[in-house]
Amino acid sequence: MRFVQGSLVQYGYKCEDCEVAIFPTTTRTELAWLRDRVHVAREVAKHSSGGLDSWMMEGLEFLSDHQGHSIVLVSRR
């Protein structure tokens, strides 16, 4: 999330094939990192006893549900 000239901007993922979007509470940079390194985050999740941040878990679930689809980063105000 980011505050831009009087309005809050949220970033998320959108599946262009299904027209479904989510907006986890995190930054655009972190969402891009997760999308580009989903295999690393999944491996960390397997070996993490404390679990991952909720935005990471939400993002991983979305990316898994839409694997093979066209996923883009989107924003909303």
Look up the pTM and report it.
Answer: 0.81
Tens-digit pLDDT profile for residues 30-39: 999 999 999 9
How many beta carbons lie within 10 A of that of residue 26, not counting itself?
20
Q: How confident is the model at residue 24 (pLDDT cuts 50, 70, 90)?
A: very high
Query: Which residue range(s) make up the domain with 19?
Result: 2-76
Stretch 63-70: mean pLDDT: 96
At 10, give phi and psi (nearest 5°): -110, 145
Strand ranges (DSSP E) for the chain? 2-4, 7-15, 20-22, 71-76
If one counts the domains in the chain, the total is: 1
